[in-house]
């Protein structure tokens, strides 16, 4: 006989780990106990040596589907005489290694009960078990116990409590466990107050007659309407002031998307995954006609499947309430627009009273429930990238707050992220916890949301930072907050250059500690020289970087206004080769064109930029694709969409030059576009020539510095054509490409890079 203590770290709370261990210990004839604590879970086991070894092997091989085991520590103990049975003890506080799992979609076992008329949870919108349901969005602190979640307000009925206490039941210690008798309930409101009748049935009726309904999900409210109703979609856009930005679609199953979007095996796996993200799928030729206004002028449709029982009930109601689950394998006609419910630019709404305040300006009705959302969390957005891996455009529900493993540990760093698409990052040992998407920090409410997210993540992880990291730009709110926190907490702070952080984020998730070349390609970031960088060739070695080269600069007429008015960048390009005289005639619809041409011609002091994002804008405007943009990167997305449909030329001409100072000049390419060609042909040519130019640029530097790996990051790498084209072009030159996989390539992953740089700066 022997006795030992096992400490298991990872995602082992709220995922059915204790009942799994209980059953496993019984099968291995072991006595002892297990409990949640600040380390994760701790257990003591006593039995034969072979049985203990078998337990340890099976612990890893047979863990619950939502669990993640990062470390198992085994320590021998003195044998206890007379030890019998196995118990699950009350949770203990303390420690600093516990983690909470992300929210997960409702599992098949719960769905089978949801659609079984004989089951006591038939059509209950909050059905869940230890294998599914909310986690991160309802927990306030660890250990993960019901009393520390928003379910604390709901006392379990005797039937639910019996399941909750039964170690052999799949709802054993399922903290959100509930039923119609004791759990949360639904309510539908319109401008006249509560709506009588079945809330789900009434909601579906309203959606089918063209109304817009705010629907409460796991991490916030969605605005929903019938995606096939063009007038309803147009009205939603008008109310939300979202003129052209693509809207996400929810379908009952992949079969319901047939004919509208292309589904690969990998993209369908992503759609069906427990995380249930929005997945960008290539649109078919009929998509825009069938879903008018959903995703105009782009090549991709953002689609997701239901992930809460309530979502499934909406489709179930529309299908006529069939018994069983067979209907879920059949195409369903109902498709719903599901976009975040918030006033333009504000954070996602989470409170019922705030959702009702949307009536009638944004929504015609509100479908709410009385389970509080503790943590706001937007849907994640992914696409299938090179070689079939998932590429994040936005990291949120389903993936937050799962840790990203680092190559080494060190004191904790709190990194405050970027100004746009903000996220923050908190490190703990050799793990980095990237927050959910917070948004652009040009609104006070988003700034407050950043502060709240920083405090909540520290509380949840029981970790306080030793260092602060923020962007180099002193006027970003995230930078100001970083400096204020550092001063208040008396901590050292580090300002990290924007493009250094982009490359560092890739090295962090790839656990790469070697020096690499970096192609940092985005819209804008403050450079060390005070300039507006955005097309940078860097040599990155831990906390240090060297700017080896950059794109030839263009004037930035109007500063930030140029990003909203791409014609300005086209004017700057025309000016760069002396065609000021044609600017006004080229853009007759722009009243400021003549004045801008004169201003450029007079050579007045002007900001210049090396931004690749602004070159995309210039190309789109020169081709007549987009002279103005209603949302960030719209011109680039239109350019990408046309090129995707057209296909790239196999052997593009060389339309770039690299001078002795390692400046990459793409003006020959822009000049070719300005000479006139079909927009689709020009979009394809631009992408093909750009890819070859960037690969030549990197290869030349690689030979000079003896490096073989190129990390490619920044918002421009969220362009699928550019990402896969660079991967192939660098490969043809004998170089390997590192790119973002676990975090967005754009500003949504910047905090991870800031934290990684700060770790190495303060703890070399």
Rounded Cα–Cα distance for residues 338 and 491 (Å): 42
Topology of domain 519-541+546-738, CATH: Nucleotidyltransferase; domain 5 (3.30.420)
Q: Where in the chain is the domain with CATH 3.30.420.360?
A: 399-512+746-762
Question: Could you tell me the CA-to-CA distances from 137 to 18, 65, 95, 140, 463 in Å, in that order?
Answer: 21, 19, 22, 8, 19
Query: Crossing angle for the helix pair 720-732 and 679-705, nearest 10 degrees?
Result: 40
CB 226 within 8 A of CB 213: no
The yes-or-no answer on residue 18 being catalytic is yes
pLDDT tens per residue across span 481-530: 999 999 999 999 999 999 999 999 999 999 999 999 999 999 999 999 99
Closest CA to 714 of 566, 613, 563, 569: 613
* Residue 286 near residue 253 (C-beta atoms within 8 A): no
Dmax (CA) for the chain in angstroms is 96
Comma-separated ranges of CATH 3.30.70.100 domains in the chain:
2-88
Average pLDDT over residues 3-14: 90
**What average pLDDT does this structure show over 305-320?**
98
Examine the pLDDT at 98 and tell me if it is beyond 80. no
Of the candidates 97, 94, 89, the one whose C-alpha atom is nearest the C-alpha of residue 40 is 97
Which pLDDT does position 92 carry in this prediction?
76
CA pair distance 263, 210, nearest whole angstrom: 28
Identify the residue with better confidence: 604 or 621.
621
Is residue 36 part of the annotated active site? The answer reads yes
* CA separation for the pair 67, 12 (Å, rounded): 5
pLDDT digits (tens, 9 = 90+) for 74-89: 999 999 988 899 998 8
pTM for the complete prediction? 0.93
Structure tokens, 466: 């030793």
Alpha carbon distances (Å) from 337 to 42, 136, 232, 263, 349: 45, 25, 10, 19, 17
Q: Between 559 and 223, whose confidence is greater?
A: 223
Averaged over 579-608, what is the pLDDT?
A: 88
Please state which of the ranges 144-153, 184-193, 318-327, 340-349 shows the lowest mean pLDDT.
340-349
Residue 336 has pLDDT above 70, yes or no: yes
> For residue range 248-284, what is the model confidence (pLDDT) as tens digits?
999 999 999 999 999 999 999 999 999 999 999 999 9
**Active-site option among 18, 121, 171, 586:** 18
Which has the minimum average pLDDT: 295-299, 490-494, 756-760? Answer: 295-299
- Tokens describing residue 488: 């208040």
142 against 426, higher pLDDT: 426
Architecture of domain 399-512+746-762: 2-Layer Sandwich (3.30)
Q: For residue 94, is pLDDT > 60? A: no
Q: How far apart are CA 230 and CA 236, in angstroms?
A: 10
pLDDT of residue 96: 59
Q: How far apart are CA 313 and CA 319, in angstroms?
A: 10
Q: Which of 62, 61, 25 is nearest to 45 (CA)?
A: 25
What is the structure's pLDDT at 383? 94
3-state secondary structure of 512: coil
Q: b/e for 553-575, b at 16 or more Cβ within 10 A?
A: bbbbbbeeebbbbbbbbbbbbbb
Choice between 66 and 115, residue whose per-residue pLDDT is larger: 115
E strands present in 290-417: 300-304, 335-340, 365-369, 381-384, 390-394, 404-405, 413-415
Measured CA to CA, the distance from residue 399 to residue 102 in angstroms comes to: 6
- Residue 569 confidence class, pLDDT cut points 50, 70, 90: very high
Q: Would you say 217 and 106 are in contact if contact means Cβ atoms under 8 Å apart?
A: no
The per-residue pLDDT for range 628-645, each reduced to its tens digit, is 998 899 999 999 999 999
Non-local CB neighbours of 470 within 8 Å, separated by 6+ positions: 415, 416, 417, 476, 478, 479, 481, 482, 483, 493, 494, 495, 496, 754
Q: What is the mean pLDDT of the chain?
A: 94
Residue 62 is predicted with a pLDDT of 93
pLDDT at 697: 98
- CA neighbours closer than 13 Å in the CB half-sphere of residue 19: 20
* Angle, vertex CA 437, rays to CA 758 and CA 147, nearest 5: 95
pLDDT tens, residue by residue, 180-238: 999 999 999 999 999 999 999 999 999 999 999 999 999 999 999 999 999 999 999 99
Looking at the chain, which residues constitute the CATH 3.30.420.40 domain(s)? 519-541+546-738
Candidates 3, 36, 237, 342; catalytic one: 36
Local structure of 471: helix, strand or coil: strand
The answer to whether residues 136 and 400 touch, using CB atoms and an 8 Å cutoff, is yes
Long-range CB contacts (within 8 A, 24+) of 585-590: 587/621, 587/627, 589/627, 590/565, 590/627
Q: How far apart are CA 290 and CA 169, in angstroms?
A: 45
In contact, 34 and 43? CB cutoff 8 Å: yes
Q: How many CB atoms lie within 10 A of CB 740?
A: 29
- Residues 644-663 have a mean pLDDT of 95
Q: Work out the percent of the chain whose per-residue pLDDT is above 70.
A: 99
2-88 is classed CATH 3.30.460.80: no
> Would you say domain 186-369 falls under CATH 1.10.260.40?
no
Give the per-residue pLDDT at 604: 67
* Rounded (10°) CA dihedral 150, 154, 157, 161: 30
- Write the DSSP symbol of residue 387: G
CA count, 13 A, side-chain hemisphere, 752: 36
Which residues are within 8 A (CB) of 524 and not within 5 positions of it... i.e. 6 or more apart? 532, 533, 534, 563, 609, 611, 613, 614
């Amino acid at each position: 006989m022997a006795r030992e203590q096992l400490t298991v770290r990872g995602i082992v709370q709220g995922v059915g780990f204790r009942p799994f261990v209980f059953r496993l210990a019984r099968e291995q004839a072991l006595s002892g106990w297990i409990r949640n604590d600040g380390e994760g879970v701790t257990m003591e086991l006593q039995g034969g040596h072979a049985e203990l070894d078998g337990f340890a092997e099976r612990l890893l091989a047979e863990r619950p589907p939502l669990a993640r085991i990062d470390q198992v520590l085994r320590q021998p103990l003195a044998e206890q005489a007379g030890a019998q049975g196995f118990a699950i003890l009350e949770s203990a506080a303390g420690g600093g290694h516990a983690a909470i799992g992300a929210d997960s979609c409702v599992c098949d076992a719960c769905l089978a009960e949801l659609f079984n008329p004989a089951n006591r949870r038939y059509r209950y919108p909050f059905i869940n078990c230890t294998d599914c349901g909310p986690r991160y969005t309802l927990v306030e602190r660890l250990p993960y116990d019901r009393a520390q979640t928003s379910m604390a307000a709901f006392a379990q009925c005797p039937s639910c409590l019996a399941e909750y206490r039964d170690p052999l039941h799949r709802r054993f210690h399922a903290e959100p466990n509930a039923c119609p008798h004791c759990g949360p309930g639904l309510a539908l409101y319109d401008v006249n107050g509560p709506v009588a009748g079945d809330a789900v049935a009434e909601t579906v009726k309203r959606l089918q007659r063209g109304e817009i309904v705010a629907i409460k999900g796991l991490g916030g409210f969605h605005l929903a309407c019938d995606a096939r109703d063009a007038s309803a979609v147009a009205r939603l856009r008008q109310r939300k002031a979202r003129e052209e930005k693509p809207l996400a679609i929810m379908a009952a199953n992949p079969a319901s998307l047939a004919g509208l979007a292309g589904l690969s095996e990998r993209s369908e796996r992503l759609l069906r995954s427990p995380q249930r993200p929005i997945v960008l799928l290539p649109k078919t030729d009929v998509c825009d006609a069938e879903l008018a206004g959903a995703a105009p002028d782009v090549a991709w449709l953002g689609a997701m499947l239901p992930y809460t029982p309530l979502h499934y009930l909406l489709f179930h109601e529309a299908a006529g309430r069939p018994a069983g689950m067979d209907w879920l394998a059949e195409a369903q006609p109902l498709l719903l627009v599901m976009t975040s419910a918030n006033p333009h630019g504000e954070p996602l709404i989470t409170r019922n009273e705030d959702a009702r305040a949307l009536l009638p300006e944004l929504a015609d009705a509100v479908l709410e429930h009385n389970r509080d959302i503790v943590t706001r969390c937007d849907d994640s957005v992914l696409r299938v990238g090179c070689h079939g891996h998932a590429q994040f455009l936005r990291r949120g529900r389903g993936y937050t707050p799962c840790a990203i493993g680092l190559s080494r540990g060190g004191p904790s760093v709190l990194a405050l992220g970027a100004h746009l698409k903000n996220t923050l990052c908190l490190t703990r040992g050799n793990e980095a916890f990237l927050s959910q998407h917070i948004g652009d920090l040009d609104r006070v409410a988003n700034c407050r949301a950043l502060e709240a997210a920083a405090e909540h993540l520290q509380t949840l992880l029981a970790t306080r930072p030793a260092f602060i990291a923020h962007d180099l730009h002193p006027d970003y709110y995230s930078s100001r907050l970083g400096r204020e926190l550092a001063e208040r907490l008396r901590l050292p702070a580090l300002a990290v250059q924007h493009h250094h952080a982009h490359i560092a984020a890739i090295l962090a998730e790839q656990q790469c500690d070697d020096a690499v070349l970096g192609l940092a390609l985005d819209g804008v970031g403050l450079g060390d020289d005070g300039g507006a960088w955005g097309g940078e060739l860097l040599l990155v070695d831990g906390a240090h970087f060297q700017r080896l080269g950059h794109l030839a600069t263009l004037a930035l007429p109007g500063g930030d206004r140029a990003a909203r008015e791409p014609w300005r960048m086209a004017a700057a390009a025309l000016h760069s080769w002396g065609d000021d005289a044609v600017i006004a005639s080229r853009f007759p619809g722009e009243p400021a064109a003549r004045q801008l041409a004169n201003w450029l011609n007079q050579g007045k002091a002007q900001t210049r930029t090396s931004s690749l994002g602004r070159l995309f804008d210039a190309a789109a405007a020169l081709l007549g694709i987009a002279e103005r943009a209603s949302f960030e990167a719209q011109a680039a997305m239109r350019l990408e969409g046309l090129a995707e449909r057209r296909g790239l030329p196999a052997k593009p001409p060389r339309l770039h030059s690299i001078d002795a100072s390692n400046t990459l000049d793409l003006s020959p390419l822009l000049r070719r576009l300005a000479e006139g060609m079909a927009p689709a042909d020009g979009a394809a040519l631009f992408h093909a020539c750009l890819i070859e130019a960037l690969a030549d640029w990197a290869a030349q530097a690689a030979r000079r510095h003896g490096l073989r790996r190129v990390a490619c990051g920044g918002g421009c790498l969220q362009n699928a054509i550019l990402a896969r084209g660079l991967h192939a072009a660098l490969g043809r030159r004998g170089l390997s490409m590192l790119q973002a996989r676990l975090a967005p390539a754009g500003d949504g992953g910047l905090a991870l890079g800031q934290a990684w740089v700060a770790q190495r700066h303060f703890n070399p």
